[in-house]
Amino acid sequence: MEDNGFNRRKFLASGAMATSAIVLGQLGFAQGSTNPLSNTNKGELAGHATGKGTLPTRKLGALEVTGIGLGCMSMTSNSYNPPRKKEDMVKLIRRAYEQGVTFFDTAEVYGAYTSEEYVGEALKPIRDKVVIGSKFGFVIDKDGKSIGRDSSPGSIRKAVEGSLKRLQTDRIDLLYLHRVDPNVPIEDVAGTVKDLIKEGKALHFGLSEPSLENIRKAHAVQPVAALQNEYSIMERVHEYKTLDLCEELGIGFVPWCPVVRGMMGDKFNEYIRFAPESRFVAVPYMSPEALQNNMGLLDLVREWADRKGATPIQISLAWLLAQKPFIVPIPGTTKLHHLKENLGAFDVSFTQAELNEFRSQIDKINLIGFRERESVLKDV
């Protein structure tokens, strides 16, 4: 789809884009830089990532991962596109590793179960060279549908045993509570994960979309390595208190939907209308009114893309990376050229003056359909 004369797929045609961009030293990876990326871990430039390529790394708590990971949900779920063939996605995951990606995100509910199977088969030959994140917490019926939440200790253990089998591994590097179960105290969940860590079945603990209060409660029982919440250049609710709390407690932040469900590419425009069965229908900022209104921010991102010789996707990811040194986005894709485009965000940098200018421009755009800031005080 073409929109305003710019197509995200054109980035491959301009192979010189990386040369127009900025060497990693200018990205803020050097000590003493004023760029927010300056605290990125230094193992990255020495080739710490173990794929054929090398990418910058960051820390989620004590867990070191590539600064951009690969989200594997869309490969097998019907959320945003039809499920893809297993052999194709296994190949894509391995190609991601060859490009330098060492951080892969999945969950038992994706598919359901099949995303973990794909990830497990793809990464089995290189298991000790990668980091796998997976999640528990949903009740899944015989048809593979999520029908509720259950984070009781017995359910957690059952879920983890199933995940280990599907992932063909003996441990999950980053084990997340997918969503808070209102019927189970978060301290009990953290305690169960703490036991699993002692047993070696998990290595680090993560949470997804909890309240600020529950982050503190869980962290007091078992240190939380990562928080996985929606965060993007459009959905910025977690800039209210959440990022500050992560910084205070030493928790990494993993944005899901970092490119706004594809909106930062050319997937949508203000005229698109979704089929009634589409998951997008339930997303407030994807309503016809919201899309028409919110395209103003995409237009701004396009302007910065032109200015930087990049694509809107790359600008969006690079902007996220520049916000805090502990932010690690996990854009999902089912296509190799989109994967390469995503990783091209490492070649885009902003000076502090540019970040300030960009932010002032963003703040002038009145977006609709996004969460109110007080929502961070509640579990999603």
Q: Which residues are catalytic?
A: 110
Q: How many CA atoms lie within 13 A of 350 on its CB side?
A: 25
Distance CA 351, CA 274 (A): 38
Distance CA 261, CA 282 (A): 13
Distance CA 377, CA 380 (A): 9
Distance CA 325, CA 247 (A): 10
Helix or strand run (H / E) with residue 352 = helix 352-363
Please give the distance of CA 82 from its chain centroid, rounded to a whole number. Answer: 20
Distance CA 380, CA 371 (A): 11
Residue among 376, 107, 109 nearest 229 (CA): 376
Q: In one letter, which amino acid is 28?
A: G
- Quote the DSSP letter at residue 169: S
For 254, the token pair is: 């993993």
Residue among 216, 208, 223, 150 nearest 181 (CA): 150
For 195, the token pair is: 């036991």
